[in-house]
Amino acid sequence: MNISLILIIALALGIIVSGILLLKQSAKKFNLTDEQKEKIKARQAQLDKEENEDA
């Protein structure tokens, strides 16, 4: 293997690893209020009801 091929492989691996680390660092958990949680539950129940009616 020549030096340019090794550099290209190293660059590709570096880009992949840095992308993964960036995603890991920027991932945050959602802090939902109780009101938001209730809205989510109500919407999910509505969707489940509509899905059961269609089936």
pLDDT in tens, 27-40: 877 788 999 999 99
Q: Give the range of the structural domain holding residue 33, as residue numbers without chain letter.
A: 3-54
Instruction: Report which secondary-structure segment, H or E, holds 32.
Output: none
The answer on pLDDT for 55 being more than 70 is no
Q: What is the count of structural domains for the chain?
A: 1
Sign of the C-alpha dihedral, residues 32, 35, 41, 44? negative
pLDDT in tens, 41-54: 999 999 999 988 87
Token pair, residue 54, equals: 């269609």
The SS3 of residue 34 is: helix
Q: Is the pTM of this model over 0.75?
A: no
Could you tell me the pLDDT band of residue 11, with boundaries at 50, 70 and 90? very high
Sign of the C-alpha dihedral, residues 7, 13, 19, 22? negative
